[in-house]
Structure 1
Amino acid sequence: MSIQLVEVSKTFGAFQALKPLNLTIEKGEFVAILGPSGCGKTTLLRMLAGFEQPTAGEIRMNRTTVTKPGFSLPPEKRRIGMVFQAFALWPHMNVTEHIRFPIRHHKETPSYIREREQERIASVLQMVGLEQHGTRMPHELSGGQKQRVAIARAIAAEPSLLLMDEPLSSLDAMLRMDMRREIQAIHRQTGTAIVYVTHDQGEALAMADRIVVMKDGRIEQIGTPQDIYLRPETEFVAKFVSKANLIRGRWNRDSFVPIGTDGTVQWQGGRVADHFKSCGMYPVRPDQFKLGTPEQAGISGEVTNVQFQGKEFHYHVRSEDGQWEISSPLPFQLHDKVSLHLPAEEQL
């Protein structure tokens, strides 16, 4: 299923939750909607699901309009599956019954699935690794198993679109990593388009084909994970996704001279977005900077905080122009004088 959002906006009273936006999701694509709380990503997901109507604009699925002001095709007629943050399992149903429910009750379930119900249930149980747990009740399952049941229920009727609303946020860190792999595997096996809402940059970067970064109800940038991380187009994307340091200085075409240097330090930036050039900034991720001794040419600074992280240290370094975050394998002490360098291979 391909999806098009055309000039879609949403207002709640005097509050505009979504500014007019345009977005196309291709058949079988995994798209992550990434942004902080209140940016409009869940509102967007609810409109795709049919739980909300847009104030303006329209949403098309396979070139058919499913929602616009005054009209909305009911959720049960959209052939979608949805996975919620809080699992939303029914306490009186076992695992098999959860999977059977959409097969029997969703109006858009294909006839070939209805006719082979037991075969489909067995296939889905195997897909999510719960083939030995079909008779268990929700209270007998771990958090990760409950999330697998929620995913299995969502994909049982073979939806054309799977909507996921921060499905891993209630799980612990190690379990989230495991579930990322599970979701990726399910996406590869089913070929279903996925729209995945999250505020976790790591989840979006690890799983999505494309990322839509949102802020204050509007789209800041759309691109592949590599584009979003390596080539941010706005200050917000640079800070929110890449955790970049925004170094101030002056641009001369594609060459940048940072503040706090004698003018001999120049960084190349042919692929730096025009926005940063117009603002006199250069985005540098914490892992791109290299720390050196004070006598080396670079941005002079002082270490103001040190955190040991196993294979590397996380530093805060204060310079003439501000405080920067640096990741480095080299050991420095609190209050050490250092210089910051951007190696040629790290320059954009």
Structure 2
Amino acid sequence: MIEVLGVTKKYGSFTALQEVDLEIGQGEFIAILGPSGCGKTTLLKLLAGFMGPTEGYIVMDDSTVASAKRVSPPEKRNIGMVFQSFALWPHMTIAEHIKFPLHHHPNRKKEGRHDLQARVNEVLQLVGLDSFSDRYPSELSGGQKQRVALARAIAPKPNLLLMDEPFSALDVELRMEMRKEIQKLHRETGASIVFVTHDQSEALAIADKIVVMNKGRIEQIAAPELIYTRPETEFVATFVGKCNLVKGQWQEGSFIPKINPHCLWPDLGVAKTFKKNGTYPVRPEQLQLSTVAINGVHGRVTFVQYQGHEIHYTVDVSGETWTVHESVYSQRFHVGDEVTVGLRTAVKKEKVLASV
């Protein structure tokens, strides 16, 4: 168990982190997600021991490793680190990269040459580089270099693996492939992983839990599905995926859009923050376009994007811009078409009532 308790980090008059509380359970895969400058890398550096907090504590395995007065250095913590730039040594072979932490990591005991080589072979096989042990970094592709960085980090079997946007230097196809590799390594090593990223799809795809940060504070901590379907703040709703924030008022558990007072939308688990502000967060795929009057609002299509399995529509609704995602198999609309925009659950409910 790792605990971050009331951690604040200041650089002069600038506050990078403010009163951050976080628990990381054994074997958890946590993604820290947020825009540039939100404090996610600062939090990672604090967990690694590269610096100490201005206020608060960090506790690892019931031992305080960081406070305003004392900081345990990285080499005294049972961690592994994967950097954004790979940070490979050009004069070392792949096997030598993996041997290095086995000699120096605090989690490893002195081993015989046979045991050491056995662990190197095991790790190389785990990351699919067993036939590349004698090569140098300059002889590898970008994806292979990232695998070496991962292998070096997991070789001494750390309890905590810290990853700072490790896929940012890779192209799209390699990023997708490395996601699978990370999930595979997580299953096979059982280590806790803290993965820093600004890529929302990446966080949603690989993490057990997502920590969404903004301006040095944690906005929400939850499982990926809950972050997406039950955002607690407007920032989370709009940063993690696209979201339409419809203005209106809440009455007796239902929402009435300001644009159409005769429209009634059900409460689908909307957080109190939105109800207090008189807004309704709705994802583009939760909306539906129609040419018939449904429990929705009138709008005009202003932009159409074909996306393979989906068509993305931009709709002008009384001066507001809404985004709607429809299946390619649904009715097609074109720029300039007059449409009704309704909530899918409301549409389905009306169809059921009509058939009774």
* TM-score, scaled to structure 2: 0.94
Aligned pair 1:132/2:142, yes or no? no
- Most deviating of 95-104 and 265-274: 265-274
SS at match of 2:284: coil
Aligned pair 1:164/2:163, yes or no? yes
CA–CA separation in structure 2 for the residues paired with 1:106 and 1:33: 25
Aligned pair 1:223/2:242, yes or no? no
Q: Is the 8 A contact 1:299 1:341 kept in 2?
A: yes
Q: Is the 8 A contact 1:168 1:176 kept in 2?
A: yes
Aligned pair 1:29/2:28, yes or no? yes
Residue matched to 1:312: 310
CA–CA separation in structure 1 for the residues paired with 2:112 and 2:83: 24
CA–CA separation in structure 2 for the residues paired with 1:170 and 1:137: 19
* TM-score, scaled to structure 1: 0.96
Aligned pair 1:10/2:1, yes or no? no
1:345 to 1:149, Cα distance in 2 relative to 1, 3 A = farther
Residue correspondences, number: 345
CA–CA separation in structure 1 for the residues paired with 2:112 and 2:72: 23
Question: What runs of 5+ residues in structure 1 fail to find an aligned partner?
Answer: none
Residue matched to 2:82: 83
Residue matched to 2:151: 152
Q: Is the 8 A contact 1:288 1:346 kept in 2?
A: no
1:114 to 1:199, Cα distance in 2 relative to 1, 3 A = farther
CA–CA separation in structure 2 for the residues paired with 1:298 and 1:191: 48
Q: Is the 8 A contact 2:57 2:66 kept in 1?
A: yes
Q: How does 1:39-118 map to 2 (within 5 A)?
A: 39-111=38-110, 116-118=115-117
Residue matched to 2:204: 205
Q: Is the 8 A contact 1:251 1:280 kept in 2?
A: yes
1:197 to 1:242, Cα distance in 2 relative to 1, 3 A = same
CA–CA separation in structure 1 for the residues paired with 2:271 and 2:347: 15
Q: Residues 162-195 of structure 1: CA distance to partner in whole angstroms, max 9, x if unpaired?
A: 0000001111111111100000000000000000
Amino acid at match of 1:59: I
SS at match of 2:163: strand
SS at match of 2:43: helix
Question: What runs of 5+ residues in structure 2 fail to find an aligned partner?
Answer: 349-356
Q: Is the 8 A contact 1:230 1:242 kept in 2?
A: no
- 1:338 Cα deviation after fit: 1.0
Residue matched to 1:337: 338
CA–CA separation in structure 2 for the residues paired with 1:318 and 1:63: 55
CA–CA separation in structure 2 for the residues paired with 1:22 and 1:138: 39
CA–CA separation in structure 2 for the residues paired with 1:148 and 1:190: 15
Aligned pair 1:272/2:273, yes or no? no
- 1:321 Cα deviation after fit: 5.2
Amino acid at match of 2:224: P
